[in-house]
């Protein structure tokens, strides 16, 4: 079965729509690694779409803060103000849906999904030393994670951790990656709604693990339209600007 792997959508409907359009008919099931809301202008619209897709979804830190499940005290002032704005926007049904999202790790069809690290959904996995625990304790050869908004990941083979980077070009839209036996993988599809690896394009992955293949995608979307909606909603200027830089 082919899975569309989405993460860190962050209430960016335009980026989500562009990604779904590009990935059309290439997948059979959707999974979402959390942070459906936070930062972006379309929390209800994005939740409605994820619910309509029947995506297997786990929660992220922004889903906890945006739904009021946790206060946003550990967020920076900019992120906190959007968490509070998101709470005001959410319909009661969508708030309820966010509150009830399961905590990763969750097993899906032979692979695992987590938001941050396997032991702690809020922990960032940026470097090999941070990836090691999740790789050693993985119950499946492939784990997908999010939270860092960086497309790439880590492999563990013969006691050695290696870092993966992908650079999908604009013509093909995706980079092919082959899964090998005897290796453990921690793979990040990147962020749909707020990429932070210097590439402004929306990021996601399509996994066909029965055929040991993962595609890492990048898709352009209309950033200006999203920035205008953020401006109208009164969201903080730094969040509007960073979409232009992918940082």
Note the residues at the interface with Zn ion (CB under 5 A): 8, 35
What's the CA gap between 201 and 189, in Å, rounded?
12
Nearer to Zn ion by Cβ, of 7 and 184: the residue is 7
User: Cβ 135 to Zn ion, closest distance in Å?
Assistant: 21
User: Cβ 24 to Zn ion, closest distance in Å?
Assistant: 25
Nearer to Zn ion by Cβ, of 156 and 243: the residue is 243
User: Cβ 76 to Zn ion, closest distance in Å?
Assistant: 13
Tell me if 45 sits within 8 A of 184, measured CB to CB: no
Tokens in use for 206? 């399509």
Nearer to Zn ion by Cβ, of 35 and 199: the residue is 35
Residue nearest to Zn ion (CB): 35
Nearer to Zn ion by Cβ, of 9 and 209: the residue is 9
What's the CA gap between 58 and 147, in Å, rounded?
12
Nearer to Zn ion by Cβ, of 8 and 123: the residue is 8
User: Cβ 193 to Zn ion, closest distance in Å?
Assistant: 8
Closest CA to 7 of 46, 52, 44: 46
Beta strand spans in the chain (E): 3-6, 29-32, 56-57, 106-108, 111-113, 142-144, 152-157, 160-165, 174-178, 184-188, 202-208, 213-219
Helix (H) / strand (E) containing 45: helix 43-52
User: Cβ 38 to Zn ion, closest distance in Å?
Assistant: 7
């Amino acid at each position: 079965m082919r899975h569309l792997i989405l993460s860190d959508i962050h209430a960016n409907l335009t980026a989500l729509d562009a990604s779904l359009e590009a990935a059309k008919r290439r997948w059979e099931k959707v999974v979402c690694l959390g942070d459906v809301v936070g930062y972006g202008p379309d929390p209800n619209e994005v939740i409605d779409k994820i619910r309509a897709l029947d995506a297997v979804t786990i929660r992220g830190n922004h889903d906890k803060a945006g739904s009021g499940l946790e206060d946003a005290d550990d967020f920076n002032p900019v992120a906190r103000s959007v968490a509070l704005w998101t709470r005001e926007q959410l319909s009661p049904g969508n708030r309820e849906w966010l509150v009830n999202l399961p905590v990763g790790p969750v097993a899906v069809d032979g692979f695992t999904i987590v938001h941050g690290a396997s032991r702690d959904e809020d922990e960032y996995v940026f470097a090999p030393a941070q990836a090691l625990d999740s790789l050693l304790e993985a119950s499946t050869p492939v784990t997908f994670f999010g939270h860092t908004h960086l497309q790439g990941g880590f492999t563990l083979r013969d006691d050695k951790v290696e870092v993966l980077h992908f650079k999908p070009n604009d013509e093909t839209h995706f980079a092919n990656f082959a899964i090998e036996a005897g290796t453990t993988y921690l793979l990040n599809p990147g962020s749909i709604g707020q990429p932070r690896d210097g590439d402004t394009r929306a990021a996601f992955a399509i996994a066909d693990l029965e055929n040991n293949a993962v595609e890492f995608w990048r898709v352009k979307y209309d950033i200006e339209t999203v920035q205008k909606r953020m401006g109208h909603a009164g969201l903080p200027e730094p969040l509007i600007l960073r979409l232009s830089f992918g940082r």
